[in-house]
Amino acid sequence: MQNRQRFLVPSSISWVCFLLVLILASIGATRGVLLRAARMKAADTPASSIYTMPAGTHTTFVVSLDRVSGATLQGSPLERVADTNYRRPATNVPSIVAELTPETSVVMGKPQQIVRGSVVQLAGTVDRHHALQTTQVVILTNYVRISEGAK
């Protein structure tokens, strides 16, 4: 009878250890997803500020793409109304020009979705010509809607 108890103890300990490791891995994965989701808040940077920012400033804009020519994007800036609701500015604001770089990552979509008419969030560094050297493009086309009308 004692031999049987010795045999069960190591087996039980290994199952408990396995379940503990599984629980810790699940907690770690959940935490990572929640942290990434918290960082993916849509931008609300005023578009005109790109012309007053010094070169080297890291910033984020939400734009509706008007032109896509190779690695150069040009878009109309959008103003945030709510998390999933944007509108075109009431005043005439110059377009934002962005350059895709080899380091640019595409989030929530595919590079093929970077086309004229798409709504995207551009994150990157302002260069000396007030163009945005993008490090990240978030495809928001199916996530946000554009409202018409003024404030």
Q: How far apart are CA 69 and CA 17, in angstroms?
A: 55
Spell out the CATH class of 47-147.
Answer: mainly beta
Find residue 105's DSSP bridge partners: 136
**Domain residue ranges of the chain, discontinuous segments joined by +:** 1-39, 47-147
Token digits of residue 108: 């929530």
Contact of 38 with 52, CB cutoff 8 Å:
no
Query: pTM score > 0.75 for this model?
Result: no
pLDDT in tens, the chain (151 residues): 555 555 556 778 888 889 999 999 999 888 887 776 666 555 556 555 666 778 888 888 899 999 999 889 999 888 888 878 888 887 788 888 999 988 898 888 888 889 999 999 999 998 888 889 999 999 988 888 888 755 4
Cα 90 to chain centroid distance, Å, stands at: 26
Q: How far apart are CA 90 and CA 151, in angstroms?
A: 8
